Each structure stands twice: as C-alpha cells, then as structure tokens.
Structure 1
C-alpha cells in the first residue's frame, strides 16, 4: 500500500519550494533582459490603451477586460499547477503565473478587439487572428526568450484556448448587460 505524505510534510516541501523560488527570482531573474521585457510589456499596453479607449463605453470595456484577466489568470494558474507549462522569468516572485500576460497583454488586446469589432462575426474573425498571433508568434518568442516552457501543451491548444476565452467572455458580457437592463 502506497503511503502519501502528510499535510504538514506537503506544507513544509511547499515552503521550501516557495523560498527557493523567491531566492531564484532575486538572484537570477530580476534585472535580466527578460525581466525588463516583462516590465515593458506590463506598462506599454496600458499607456496605449489609455490613449485609445472609448470613454463612452469605458465601464463596459473595462469590465470585459477584468473578466479576461480573472479568467486567464485562473486558467494560467491551473496550467502551472498541473505542470502543463511553466515560466522561468516573471515580473514578481509571488505568483507562478505570467502576470504580465494575464493582467496586461491579454486583457488589453481583448479589450481593444471588444471595442473595435462590434458584430459577432467581426469579433470572431478578429479573435481568430489574435489567437493565431498569440499562439503561433508570441508563444514561440516567449520560448525563445526562455520565459515560457510548455511541457504538456501545444501552440494549437493555445490557439483554441485564446479564441474560446474571447468568445465565451463576450457571450457572458452580453448576458450580463442584458440582465442589468432588466432590473
């Protein structure tokens, strides 16, 4: 009969891993060129978005972006936890997810598509392109930069995921808007 580690043993191992991860970040990640790229990717999209966001629909667009950040952050955390992918470099050492993608790159891109492509058809077509670029251009670049390491994941899976997240969250936003108008 296989014996499993106790809760206390698991917590101890997790604590050691967390400490090692923070030490690695301090001594091997922060201020590397990859880290500076992540800093830029965190800040620049927000500057661009702030200049071009439709102020009349600011609340709706921002709500959609927050849903994207919440949903992609959750999916990213699940993927890392299940060892489907991992990140060698990150902006901060506190989370195992690629926070820059989850709270900047993806939400900003998705909000811009949401703002500019009003019909379902144009929205879906735009997101086919976005999903393709994220999966087959940006992911290989992140791999080349040694930031992103997929282990049980393919770019094709990412393509489908990027697309389905956008479609599902637009559908959800439409439902929320419709529901709010019925009150």
Structure 2
C-alpha cells in the first residue's frame, strides 16, 4: 500500500467517523454527559486548587495530559479499545477525560499529598477506581468499548504516568530553588567596594 492509498483510506474513515458523529453522537445524552462532567470537574478543581502554587501544579497537570493522551492514542491505534461517544470527531479519537478529569484528579492529589508515600497511595487508589470502576461504567453506558485490552496493563500505565510526572516536576523545582539560592551569592561577590570620599573632595 502506498502513502496515497493510506491517505485515501484515512479520508474514507474520516467521512465515516464524521457522518456517525453527526448522526448518533453529537448532542446525545452521552455527549452532554461528557460536557457536564468536565465542566463540574473544572469548577470543583478551581475552587480547591492552591492558587499560590498554580504554576507548578499546572506544569504537573500538563505533563499528565500529554502523556495520558499519548498512552490513550497508542491503545486506540492498536485496536484494544475505542470510544463510541466522542466529544469531537478526531482520528484517533482520544477521550476528553485524558486532558480534563484525569489531570485534574492527579493535580489534586499532587497538591494535597506532597510526600512520596502519600502521593503514591493516593494515585494508586484513584487510578484503581478509574480503571476497574469508571471504565466498566463507560462501557456499560455505551461511551467506551473494550477489545481485549488488559486492564491491569492500563492500570500500571496510569500509575506510572503521574509517578514519572511528579519525579520530573519535583526535580525541576529543586533545580530552580538551587539556582535561586546561588544567585544572591553571585550578586554579592560581584560587587566591588567603593572607597569613601574625604570631606571636601566633591568640591
């Protein structure tokens, strides 16, 4: 198969996806449910987030969103699961929770459980609830479809992503603080003493 054959197949798939999305998914109860959950999640998160640490928390959340979207896209591309209800008709159609609810939950845990032991326990519990509780519900309500995916593999990946994110962000923060501590010392050492003038030297 040439590149142009693949492109034509992709265009055909896009037409099918768009047609189904317009006819069956857009403005459906499941579609509105996704919108509602995301809006509520953002409202709650904004209410409880520590605004003073917002930059670091958002940096952590951005890492989660990107990594989780890649993880989800890989599973979709492998044909191991898919979404019957899509927020927008993209190919592959990643789940909107990848860049909304999932990062928001992770950011909340990151904020309230800063130590490694509590953070890991919190992530492990939340991800277990999502993988073994929420995903089956999404399948039941015809939002998601599983095609032989190993949920224990998914669980391991979803725990590994925020764990790696915390390691990286904590390392960045540590380096940043170390640099800030060195800067005043450098500034003071660069100052040269100015000799005092005797009375009357200005005239």
Interval of TM-score (by shorter of Structure 1 and Structure 2):
over 0.9
Q: Which residue of 2 aligns with 1:40?
A: 36
Q: Could you say if the C-alpha distance between residues 182 and 95 of structure 1 is closer, same or farther in structure 2, counting changes exceeding 3 Å?
A: farther
The runs of 4+ residues in structure 1 deviating greater than 4 Å are none
The C-alpha deviation readout for 1:67-88, integer Å capped at 9, x for no partner, is 1111101111111112121111
The TM-score with structure 1 as length reference comes to 0.93
Q: Which residue of 2 aligns with 1:79?
A: 75
Q: Secondary structure at the match of 2:121?
A: helix
1:16 aligns with 2:15: no
Query: What is the correspondence of 1:31-180 to structure 2 with a 5 Å cutoff?
Result: 31-180=27-176
Q: Contact 1:87/1:96 (CA < 8 Å) preserved in 2?
A: no
Q: Secondary structure at the match of 1:86?
A: strand
In 2, the alpha carbon distance for the partners of 1:108 and 1:71 equals: 14
* Structure 2: gaps spanning 5 or more residues: 180-203
In 2, the alpha carbon distance for the partners of 1:146 and 1:104 equals: 20
The C-alpha deviation readout for 1:87-129, integer Å capped at 9, x for no partner, is 1111111343334211111010000000000110000111111
In 1, the alpha carbon distance for the partners of 2:163 and 2:35 equals: 29
The TM-score with structure 2 as length reference comes to 0.84
Greater shift in the superposed pair: 87-96 or 50-59: 87-96
Q: CA RMSD in A?
A: 1.3
Greater shift in the superposed pair: 160-169 or 89-98: 89-98
Q: Contact 2:14/2:91 (CA < 8 Å) preserved in 1?
A: no
Q: Secondary structure at the match of 1:97?
A: coil
The C-alpha deviation readout for 1:115-147, integer Å capped at 9, x for no partner, is 000110000111111111011110100110111
Q: Which residue of 2 aligns with 1:181?
A: 177
Q: Which residue of 1 aligns with 2:182?
A: none
1:25 aligns with 2:27: no
Q: Could you say if the C-alpha distance between residues 95 and 112 of structure 1 is closer, same or farther in structure 2, counting changes exceeding 3 Å?
A: farther
In 1, the alpha carbon distance for the partners of 2:85 and 2:172 equals: 36
